Amino acid sequence: MSNYFYALGRRKGATARVRLTTGKGNITVNDKPADQYFDASQSLLHQLDRPFIALQQENKFDISVKVSGGGHTGQIDAIRLGIAKALVELNEDFKNTLRRAELLGRDPRERERKKFGLKGARKKQQFTKR
């Protein structure tokens, strides 16, 4: 394999390790095509192209991703952040454009833990006065 650009993306419980190489626009997630891995959900798959659309660089790079943890939405967001970071590794001039398109910021929101005595993180037993 030729030289590549590596970046790490995270979102909720998901972690994506992204490798970016020059190619024809193929996206491989955990050794499967992206549309097969994400069950061909077009709205989610469109999210993966956002960094390339912002830079007008569609179908110029192949992407290989190893992703773990979280659900599909968290994984897609982690991969998107990893792609944007890898593009900045490739060319520092892309940073301003990606930052303006809000693709370089990590979403810090995490799942809140369940507390003892409650049904979930915040849901309590129903209160009865009498």
When pLDDT is cut at 50, 70 and 90, the band that residue 2 belongs to is low
Question: Whole-angstrom Cα distance, residue 28 to residue 112?
Answer: 31
Q: Cα separations (Å) of 81 from 30, 40, 105, 111? A: 17, 20, 8, 19
So what's the architecture of 5-100 in CATH? 2-Layer Sandwich (3.30)
Q: What is the mean pLDDT of residues 13-26?
A: 93
Which residue pairs, CB below 8 angstroms and at least 24 apart, start in 123-128? none
Task: Work out the pLDDT band at 31, boundaries 50, 70, 90.
Answer: very high
Count the neighbouring beta carbons within 10 Å of the beta carbon of residue 110.
Answer: 10
Q: Please tell me whether residue 92 adopts helix, strand or coil conformation.
A: coil
Domain boundaries, the chain: 5-100
Query: Residue 119 CB: number of other CB atoms within 10 A?
Result: 11
Backbone angles phi, psi at 32, to 5 degrees: -130, 155
Residue 32 has pLDDT above 60, yes or no: yes
pLDDT for the residue 40? 66
Residue with tokens 């979930």: 120
Q: At what angle do helices 72-90 and 42-55 cross, to 10 degrees?
A: 20
pLDDT: is 79 or 41 the higher one? 79
Which of the four pLDDT bands, split at 50, 70 and 90, describes residue 45? confident
The pLDDT tens digits for 60-118 are 999 999 999 999 999 999 999 999 999 999 889 999 999 999 999 999 999 899 999 99
- Residue 1 confidence (pLDDT) above 50: no
